[in-house]
Each structure stands twice: as structure tokens, then as C-alpha cells.
Chain A
Amino acid sequence: QVQLQESGPGLVKPSQTLSLTCTVSGGSISSGDYYWSWIRQPPGKGLEWIGYIYYSGSTYYNPSLKSRVTISVDTSKNQFSLKLSSVTAADTAVYYCAREGYGDYQVFDYWGQGTLVTVSS
């Protein structure tokens, strides 16, 4: 059973960089069968896809966040990470990591429990 777990600071100051890590267990990021994504959800609002990374390191970001987002992967630790720079209060959200299938099954089938990140001074 694949499990994903987000970790990182729950409070970030405005203008700083938000950093989160997702640890994957029960499956290998290096298998090459999946993309690994970050998705966020502001309190009381809908879901916004941030971007994904493949085990090789190739990435694709949501154009609306592209200038501020970096997603990286550490296959030796079976982890992938999110960095979001120059944060504002609008970046306050629950951040989820998720596994995304490939080809005809490119859906988010496993999710972490989510972690709330608040941007405030």
C-alpha cells in the first residue's frame, strides 16, 4: 500500500520561501510508472494543482505559479520536495502531495494527508 506523508514548517513569513517534503513509502519513486505532484487547497476553497516531477527530474508547473515554484526529487530517500518563493497570505493553504498515474490513468490515486501552511508575520 503506497503512502505519502508531507512534512515541513506550518508557519512561513511573508516574502520568504515555503519548503515542504513528501516521503513516499510502499512504492519506489524510481519505478518510473508515476508522476509525483503537489496540490494545494486554501481554507474553504477548491483544489489547485501546483506541478509534478518525474523520477528523472523532469518537471511541469502550473503556469500561474511557475515563476515561484521549484519541485525536486531525491530518489535515494524516496522523497520529493516543493519550494514556493516570495509567499504571501494568498499562499496559505493545505498542501497535499499525490501520486499521479501515467498515460490513460494520469489521475491522482494516492494522496498524503495534507499539511496546513500559514503565511503570516
Chain B
Amino acid sequence: EIVLTQSPGTLSLSPGERATLSCRASQSVSSSYLAWYQQKPGQAPRLLIYGASSRATGIPDRFSGSGSGTDFTLTISRLEPEDFAVYYCQQYGSSPRFFGPGTKVDIK
């Protein structure tokens, strides 16, 4: 199975700053089948990015994804107040589906 690690565990930033989140896989993720989700307290996760770099419907263009193989990145170009949340990566190139442990982006 493919294990995902995310770094950093917590990212403390101010609104307007750029956030760079990392997701690393234990083996190559086939066809860049890597997704990113955002989760706010008390809410279900929301799909942001699929296929490593494609934004899901309705997702603002300040969110971007990149990477391939074993190293992937989620970038939020300018943090808005509503972007402070936990972000999970997930691989879907093989089963079982596996989520990373998450990166919390909180207000500095």
C-alpha cells in the first residue's frame, strides 16, 4: 500500500501570505492520481484538487496543485480568512485509498 506523509504538521501564517503544503508518497503514485481536500472544524472534507493539479468545480484559482511521482505540493497563493483549515492529500492510484495525516494551516 502507498503511505502518504505530509509536512509541515502545522503551518502558521497570516492572511495574504502564501502557503506551501507538501505531500510525499512511499511509492510512485500512478498517473498522478493525487487529490487534496480541505476540512474545517465540524465539517466534512471538501475536494480541492484532483489529478495532482486540476481544480475541482468551484474552487478558487488561488489554490493550485503540482507534482508527480512521489512528491506533490498544494499552494495557496494568498491566504483568505476562510482558508485556515486542515488539508489532506489522498492517493487514488491504487487500493486501499489512503489519506495523509493532514497539515493544519492556522492564523499566526
Chain A residues in the interface with B (C-beta under 8 A):
37, 46-49, 60, 62-64, 96, 98, 104-109, 111-114
Contact = CB atoms under 8 A, between A and B. Distances in A.
B3 interface: no
Contacts of B43: 113
Interface string B85-106: 0001010100111111110000
Interface stretch (B18-26, B31-39, B61-69, B76-84): B31-39
Given A104-B31, A105-B51, 4 more contacts: A47-B90, A49-B96, A108-B37, A114-B44
A109 B55 CA distance: 12
A108 B37 CA distance: 9
Contacts of A114: 44
Contact of B45 (A104, A105, A106, A108): A108
Contacts of A48: 99
A98 B97 CA distance: 13
B2 interface: no
A46 B86 CA distance: 10
B47 to A, nearest CB: 5
B25 to A, nearest CB: 15
Contact of A46 (B1, B96, B102): B102
Contacts of B51: 104-105
Q: Which applies to chain B's interface (DSSP): helix, strand, loop or mixed?
A: loop
Nearest first, the 3 A-B pairs at minimum CB distance are: A111-B44, A49-B97, A47-B99
A88 to B, nearest CB: 21
B44 A49 contact: no
**Chain B CB within 10 Å, residue with most, of A46, A64, A107:** A107
A106 B99 contact: no
Contact of B88 (A46, A64, A104, A112): A46
B49 to A, nearest CB: 9
Contacts of A108: 35, 37, 45, 47, 90
